[in-house]
Structure 1
Amino acid sequence: MKYVDEDEISHCVSFAALWSANNKRAKGLRASGVGSVSCSWHKLFRPLGTGDLQKGERYSNMDYLFFSSLIGITLLTVVASYDIACQWSRNFWSQATAMPIELKLPDWLNILFKVPKFHLPPHVKSCHGPYSFNYTKGVGRTDGEGMERNWSWLNWAVRSVSVMGPGSREDTIDDLCGFSNWRKTVELGNTLLRKMVLAIPQAMVHSRAFHGFTDGLRGEHEAELRDWDALIKEWERNPLDATVNPFDYPEVEGETMADVMKRISEEDHARGSWCNAGEACSFLAGRMDIEVDQLNVALEAKRRNKTTIQATELQHKRTLLLGKIAKLQDDPPLPAADNSRPERIKILLPSSLPAAACETEDLRQAQVGDALRELRSNLRTRTFAHQFKRKNMGGQGMWTKSRTLLDGIEDGIRVAAACYRAGWAGLLALRGPGEWQTVLQELRQEDIKGINEQAMNDEEKEDNRKARLLAGLTGDGSEDVDEYGEAVELTVLYNLETGEGRRVASWLWYAATGPTEVDSDGKLHADIHIEWSKARARADRWREELILLEEEMRRSVEFCEWKAKWWEERMEVRVDVAPELAEGLNAFALEQIHRERQWAEVWSRKWQPIRLRAALVLRDHVADIDDESFLPIEVDLEEDRREEYEYDDFNEEED
């Protein structure tokens, strides 16, 4: 009770736990709540890890519970997951000196402090990288939210235990925690099997995505890849002291919304230029410029429900385009065409003819590269514009004005995509199918997404369908078309934490377009660097998940065999007892032996096929995982707060 009156100070955001510790009304109460420690990997309550809180979730209470739960552990590394780990860890080691001698931690123990994935986004930005499970080596796909899942189950007993006497209350909580642990132990065969079934395809997908990303950059940027790899290894050694966070998107500086609008206007103006036909290169370039203008006009013509002004502007653009096409009549004449639709006139570029009629595809290659870089630039701008709008714009007026800018950005994305498709079709006509298509792929609608966007998965699409039905719309998404009549690909804009482990970047972000995809100082764009680092982390975490699950399965079977032998040895210990008692003791021991060996047999048979499959995957990709000789455990701490979010206890899915 001597620590009850100390204030808990936060150096991050305003945490509910610290506010509760400073303001919770505890007068006349034996305990204001319950604190507990559990294993993040198994979601099991730790022994000696549950106790009363006198006044909210105070550091002193949680320190004592944490140290008590580690009694008897002989490990080199422990990962501690706590929703306020950034604050709790600041004075952790100084508080450790005040613990009783029996709770002292060994000198060799290394503790890594992390914040659960669901709780991390509200923290300040400086906490996102160092305290993220996504970027911590060796933890696999652990999310750190195991304690929350335990509370979601225990909270049903709050009303009952809160009115019990001290003895009954403690016994009831102990029984509930024990039953929870027993239930998870019995279900271990199914739990590990489900996790392994999920981990194998994810490990393959993210490993291939990362290697494809790396191969696309290696040709022109081998030295930078080595620098990035060294930077990540330095980060993994000590993320809190690292000078650079390789996973952190820098703040956009020097480019305001007005700057973006000015740049887009200048690009639109430049796009309208054209060159006269002359030499072969100028001849082709001039016709390719007209092809771009045709794509612009065709896009505008597809707009539905045009106003009178928009229809007039479209007709004016068609007149200008027809004039440009007419100037080509001094060159090889164009066939007669419908002058009312100049965007449909065939201008007979060499790639529109049989492949044998053309000897070079350099201009088409350049067109595809320029279109891809333009598409990336517009997608970056869209991401920045959406983030800026969410953070800074409020009120209907400002949102309406921002819609004009966003529409312009979307138009730029559509034109760039159309230019790429036209250039890609030209290359296909000139080259035919081949290895080049593995780098410059056919652009599908679902590929057009920002570097931190992801197409909705089946579960998210189902939620969207239900929401549409509630809103009175059709559930099949038939209204999901834009003003041009094109289907809208539903995407989710992810932040750095939630859902990060399953995201796969679109191929267009790592397709090689030549050495010009660099900043003014010759370096690759920062967002390409960051996405490569995050793709590496995703691949590593899923491979680690496979390693941890395989080792967990092996240890589970071995433990059951050892425990059965342990019970056999116990049968011979007590020899000076009555025959009746000896018979009962032996019967109990035989029951335990039978259960342990039955578990070992059932689990081995159930896991054997999936373990063989996992071994094949690991054999191909585990060679580049260095220093995996130790397997850390993760524990997380949390106070029983009834307003916390509810989690599925045994069938959870990690982000």
Structure 2
Amino acid sequence: MLGFIRERNKILDAFLRREGRGTGWEDGCMDESCLNTDAKYRCQECFARRLLCHACIVKRHQDEPLHIIEEWRDNYFQPCSVASLNESLRLQLGHLPAQYCNFPNGPHPMVVLDNNGIHQLEIDFCGCVGAPSICDQLIDIGWYPATKTAPETCATLSLLKRFHTLNLQARVSAYDFYNSLEVVSERGGMQVVPDRREQFTLIAREYRHVQQCKRAGRGHDELLHGIEATAPGECGIDCRACPVPGVNVPDEYAPEDAWLYQLLLSQDANFKLKGRDTSSRDKDPALGPGFAYVVANDQYLAHLSKYISHCVAFAALWRANNKGAKGLRATGIASVSCSRHEVFRKNDTGDLQKGERYSNIDYLFFMSIFGIALSSILVSYDIACQWSINFWKRAKKMPSYLQLPPGLRIQFKVPKFHLPPHVKKCHGPYSFNYTKGVGRTDGEGVERNWSWLNMIARSVSVMGPGSREDTIDDFCGYANWRKTVGFGSSRNSLLRKLVLAIPKAILHGQAFQAFTEGVREGHEDELEAWEEEIQAWEADSEKKCPYEYPEEQDITMDSLRLLIAQEEHARAEKGASKTNTPGAFIIAAMELEEHQETIRLEARRRERTSIQAADLQRKRTQTLSLIQRFRDEQVHFMPGLKSHLEALRPSGDTESTSRPEDMKLHLPSAWPATLRQTLCITGLPEEEERLRAAQAWDALRELRRQLRTRMLAHQFKRAHTSGQAAYTKSQQLHNSIEQRIRAAATSYKTARAALLSLRGPGEWETDLRVLTNQDIRGMNERTLNEQEKEEDRRARNIVGADELDEFGEVIERTVRFNLEMGEGNRFLSWIWYAGGAGAGSTTDEGKLHDDIRIEWAKARVRAQRWREELLLVDEEMRRVLVYCGWKAAWWEARAGARTNVPHDLAEGLRAYATEQAVRERHWQSGWQAKWAAVRARSRVALLDEGVDFARHPAIRVELDDEVPYGENGEGDDFNDLD
């Protein structure tokens, strides 16, 4: 920008210079063969805008009637037209340039909409015997008429293509686009232009429909049935990465590979795409009902009418005076897309008349799989757990043309993001994570499609029914086209998926093997039992889910918080005091302890910036305020505390508040049992004991989880981290994990110390033992032996100082990562056992904790899903390449399908089909070469999950997130298919 600032005065002068006649005008007309000295005309559209005389400007624009001409008059350039310069000039259609018709049909006044504005001129049509129709004559010169007989308005195909692209990519509405043409033409209100907004909207809609049919090959129909014979969904774009029977699915495959050829679908409703009750289908019919993505309305409503009370007309349904539906024809839409590639399915979209009814969803789902010849389908839906109930009963009631083929297997799942709010019994059976054959599919594809369609929600809401459906069809088609081109692009591509999946598959495969070997010796029977339990659940999801904690062991702080909240609500209903319950009081104290521990840790930081120091002081102030409010509340639950503290404190001595992290909270566990009855209300010590036990188990569970995370992070770092930047980033991750491990350990120690005070020594210590630094180690870690400890101390002495962390604490290495499978598996820390087995015992080992079983089961499915992802993406690449070859052959066969047609039409048919076939062949060869190296690399990973890629040559793959869509000529324009 500095260069521009230096040169902007010169640039401004250059702009102003263009307002005048420039240099050389004194010599007259700038046409080389002209000697006229009166040169005062120039064209805005022509190159260099030469100054020409009247005769030369007219001669050059005999066949350019839409160029903007300017005349130098009254010391400035004023707009004029070619027609105004030559009143005898008539544009003759139906003949070659410079030829005139002996039987001209005209003159006809015509308003022409072009990229540079709105033009008015007169034209002559050819009236010769056998002349083409008026519509054909106009389209032949690139003008599309608003009506097909006696048209008075046209739009150039160049303008329509530009609007179509801007409408799809930038969501520029027809209203705004036409207004921009008026602004260009009016020139600040100096000219009056005719209003052709309505005609332009009609033309744009017709153009879009014809282009859709053209791209689908309807003009190449060998049976000459034309657009009227279009089959349901024929104008839609397939997902070529999904299995398409008869195209990219093998005729025969092994039964164990059947999962590779199942169809993964997602469906959902969208209530932002409403449709107002404007116009009617008689006045505004859909141009292509059921041709692409939106289902044919007549059949759709005929099916829905079965579920409407016969005493009320069906039309009254969408006029019902219910909340959010008054004045609406449609309260939203529902749609189905493929789960993995987010491509809209053919005949998958339809209006919702009154909420998200099963009758609507069923019809759209069945239409989206219309005519499918696959053996297995998996469909995700945010309420699949409810929708799947009685699904097969409803399926039998569907119309005859939507009956499912025998033997079809359908699985129902809930998208990953939508699953957590469901009740616990839904989590296992409806989870993608625990489902075989889905790879890393999340089932949320249709939700991402909504973000695209919602951009046109406001404009389509006011359209008539037919316009609305045609527009949604067009936008769904454009979205599918972008994703088709994106299969070979640099972002959101199959290549990116495969590149990301390879290290993940290796990492999780190795992690699972290490995990399994780490517990195998001495626990072989348990491993076999775990495997049998998982297989039994996979065969029957009604059995105990191996990925969830048993209900009787699921006593956590969260569950106790819920119970306490319910108790408080019950007290409020009885009109009890607004004072918190004992449980809420203890929870508040425990949260204060966490605040204090956070501040203590921060206060020990060796080096602190001004911002960090200010943040520390702010936290101390907030914590002090919380403690003061806590003390006010403490009077109600520990009424004897204040007098007891005053008796213990020397006269005149006050509690320091400069370091609130060190202020004692004086909970019941801080006092001997003999004093608790005096200081506390009845039941308070018991309430703290209950909550401290939950805190201890929660902390232990979190500690185990973070140790598993540390193991995975360390494996990944060792295998894949190289270079200073990557090492620094990896180290930050490890420091974060270590902080969470430290926090979990501190929370456990605090809870256990409180329990020891409240309960005293007892059998409970068998399960909740003393936690030492040596106990905090993962499944694949072992304690250092004495020799290793001595070597570590000797190394620190050589350096001359102890190694300190960022908080000034000595880093004492007590464990060593042991990643080699099968080693170090005999000496698991006690935290991994249930029943309190002795750490390091090889003969008296106890039963492994349920956390280990669950973590092992989850590690197993993680490894399986990532391995499946490798296989799925590789298969999807194969399907894409096969589809490209099939589509190329499809177009080649249609190049000469229509016979007995005029030569010029036959040539156009052949040229268009050839162009499409060449594009498909180009994609096939280009993508195959682009993917070959990575596909080969993925197969190495599949052959040996434990492969060390350091022994294999690296393959460089450019994946640039900043590359704009369609760069490098890969098809950034939907109209590239035209």
SS in structure 2 of the partner of residue 574 of structure 1: coil
Q: Distance in 2 between matches of 1:555 and 1:201?
A: 23
CA change 1:381–1:101 in 2 (3 A) is closer
Q: 2:484 aligns with which of 185, 189, 195?
A: 185
Counterpart amino acid of 1:540? Answer: Q
Question: Residue 345 of structure 2 aligns with which residue?
Answer: 46
Displacement of 1:575: 2.6
Cross-structure match for 1:107: 406
- 2:546 is matched with 246
Aligned to 2:377: 78
The verdict on how the C-alpha distance between 1:307 and 1:168 changes in structure 2, with shifts beyond 3 A counting, is: closer
Query: 1: distance between equivalents of 2:411 and 2:915?
Result: 41
Asked if 2 retains the 8 angstrom alpha-carbon contact of 1:302 and 1:485, the reply is no
Alpha-carbon distance change, 245 to 157 in structure 1, aligned in 2, over 3 angstroms: same
- CA deviation vs aligned residue, 1:472-511 (integer Å, no higher than 9, x gap): xxxxxx8xx6xx8699xxxxxxxxxxxxxxxxx9x9xx95
Aligned to 2:263: none
The Cα of 1:382 is off from its aligned counterpart by 5.4
* 2:334 partner SS: strand
Contact 1:24–1:56 (CA under 8 A) maintained in structure 2: no
Conserved 8 A contact 2:701-2:851: no
Q: Is the 8 A contact 1:196 1:610 kept in 2?
A: yes
How many aligned residue pairs are there? 427
Tell me which of 517, 530, 533 is aligned to 2:857.
Answer: 533
Q: Does 1:215 align with 2:517?
A: yes
Look up the match of 2:365.
66
Equivalent residue, structure 1, for 2:750:
408
Shift of the alpha carbon at 1:232?
Answer: 1.6
Give a deviation string over 1:287-331, Cα, whole Å, max 9, x none.
xxxxxxxxxxxxx99996685999xxxxxxxxxxxxxxxxxxxxx
Cα shift at 1:218? 1.1
Q: Give the 3-state SS of the residue equivalent to 1:132 in structure 2.
A: coil
What amino acid is aligned across from residue 866 of structure 2 in structure 1?
A: W
- 1:82–1:113 Cα contact (<8 Å) kept: yes
Q: In the alignment, which of 880, 887, 899 is matched to residue 563 of structure 1?
A: 887
Taking a change above 3 Å as real, the CA distance of residues 147 and 589 of structure 1, as seen in their structure-2 partners, is: same
Tell me how far apart the structure 2 counterparts of residues 55 and 309 of structure 1 sit (CA, whole Å): 60
Structure 1 residues 86 and 3: CA distance shift in structure 2, 3 A: farther
Q: 1:159 to 1:549 in 2, by over 3 A?
A: same
| TM-score, scaled to structure 1 | 0.58
Q: Distance in 1 between matches of 2:360 and 2:323?
A: 15
2:783 matched residue in structure 1: 424
1:408 alignment partner AA: T
Would the aligned equivalents of 2:506 and 2:946 in 1 still touch at CA under 8 Å?
no
The equivalent residue for 1:197 is 499
Separation (CA, whole Å) in 2 of partners of 1:86 and 1:164: 35
Q: Is the 8 A contact 2:556 2:697 kept in 1?
A: no
Q: What is the CA-CA distance between 1:254 and the residue it aligns to?
A: 9.3
Distance 1:172 1:379, change over 3 A: same
2:924 to 575, 596, 600: 600
Answer yes or no: is 1:227 the counterpart of 2:526.
no
Cα distance, 1:537 vs structure 2:
0.3
Distance (Å, rounded) in 2 between the aligned partners of 1:411 and 1:515: 20
What residue identity is the alignment partner of 1:166?
Answer: P
Give the whole-Å Cα distance in 2 for the aligned partners of 1:410 and 1:121.
31
In the alignment, the residues of structure 2 paired with residue 250 and residue 650 of structure 1 have an alpha-carbon distance, to the nearest angstrom, of 49
1:81 shift after superposition: 0.4
In structure 2, distance between residues paired with 1:410 and 1:382: 15
1:102 maps to a residue whose letter is Y
After superposition, give the CA deviation of every residue in 1:397-432 in whole Å (9 maximum; x if it has no partner).
xxxxx9996671499999845345899344443898
Q: Which residue of 2 aligns with 1:88?
A: 387
Residue 77 of structure 1, CA deviation = 0.9
The whole-number CA distance in structure 1 between the counterparts of 2:358 and 2:506 is: 42
CA contact (8 A) 1:22 1:56 kept: no
Contact 2:376–2:408 under 8 Å retained in 1 = yes
Q: Could you tell me which residue of structure 1 aligns to residue 458 of structure 2?
A: 159
> SS where residue 80 of structure 1 aligns?
strand
**Separation in 1, partners of 2:863, 2:932:** 24
In the TM superposition, residue 251 of structure 1 has moved relative to its aligned partner by 3.3
Q: Does structure 2 retain, via aligned residues, the 8 Å contact 1:4–1:55?
A: no
Q: 1:382 to 1:598 in 2, by over 3 A?
A: closer
In the alignment, which residue of structure 2 is the partner of 1:548?
872
Query: In the alignment, is residue 616 of structure 1 matched against residue 943 of structure 2?
Result: no
CA contact 1:4–1:54 (8 Å) conserved in 2: no
Matches of 2:870 and 2:890 in 1, distance apart? 30
Q: Which has the larger radius of gyration?
A: 2
For the residue of structure 1 that corresponds to 2:514, the secondary structure is helix
Q: Which moved more, 1:221-230 or 1:197-206?
A: 221-230
Question: In 2, are the aligned partners of 1:382 and 1:409 still within 8 Å (CA)?
Answer: no
Please list every run of 5 or more consecutive structure 1 residues that lacks an aligned counterpart in the other structure.
7-20, 261-299, 311-375, 387-401, 434-443, 447-477, 488-504, 624-648
Deviation at 1:74, TM superposition (A): 1.0
Tell me the secondary structure at the aligned position of residue 580 of structure 1: helix
Query: How far apart, CA to CA, are the structure 2 residues paired with 1:136 and 1:212?
Result: 23
**Matched residues in 1 for 2:554 and 2:902: separation?**
88
Identity %: 51
State the shift of 1:524 in Å.
2.1
CA distance in 2, matches of 1:29, 1:256: 48
Residues 371-395 of structure 1, C-alpha deviations (whole Å, 9 max, x = no match): xxxxx97842557999xxxxxxxxx
2: CA distance, partners of 1:524 / 1:445: 35
Q: Distance in 2 between matches of 1:106 and 1:149?
A: 31
Bigger helix fraction:
1
User: Shift of residue 650 of structure 1?
Assistant: 9.7
User: In 2, are the aligned partners of 1:38 and 1:146 still within 8 Å (CA)?
Assistant: yes
Report SS of the residue matched to 1:45: coil
CA drift at 1:37: 0.7
How far 1:601 sits from its partner (Å)?
1.2
Query: Following the alignment from structure 1 to structure 2, what is the Cα–Cα distance between the partners of residues 514 and 214?
Result: 13
Instruction: Write out per-residue CA displacement over residues 141-189 of structure 1, whole angstroms, 9 at most, x where no aligned residue.
Output: 0000001000011101110000001111110000000000000000111
CA distance in 1, matches of 2:426, 2:335: 24
Query: What is the CA-CA distance between 1:31 and the residue it aligns to?
Result: 1.3
Alignment match, 2:315: none
Q: Structure 1 residue 577 and structure 2 residue 901: aligned?
A: yes
Q: Deviations over 1:578-637 (max 9, x none)?
A: 2211111110111011100010111011111111110100111499xxxxxxxxxxxxxx
Asked if 1 retains the 8 angstrom alpha-carbon contact of 2:375 and 2:407, the reply is yes
Looking at structure 2, the residues matched to 25 and 531 of structure 1 have their Cα atoms a distance apart, in angstroms, of 46
2-structure distance, mates of 1:165, 1:22 = 20
Shift of 1:29: 2.3
1:3-28 CA-partner distances (Å, limit 9, x unpaired):
6769xxxxxxxxxxxxxx99753244
SS at match of 1:564: helix
Q: Secondary structure of 1:220's match?
A: coil
Determine if the alignment matches structure 1 residue 130 to structure 2 residue 429: yes
Task: State the secondary structure of the residue aligned to 2:328.
Answer: coil
Cα distance in 2, alignment partners of residues 416 and 185 from structure 1: 56
CA gap of 1:23–1:609, structure 2 versus 1, over 3 A, is farther
Of the candidates 149, 161, 172, which is equivalent to residue 448 of structure 2? 149
Secondary structure at the aligned position of 1:575 is classed as coil
Distance 2:427 2:872 in 1: 24
Task: Considering Cα pairs closer than 8 Å and 6+ residues apart, tell me whether 1 or 2 has the greater RCO.
Answer: 1
Instruction: Please report how far the alpha carbon of residue 237 of structure 1 lies from its aligned counterpart in structure 2 after TM superposition.
Output: 2.7
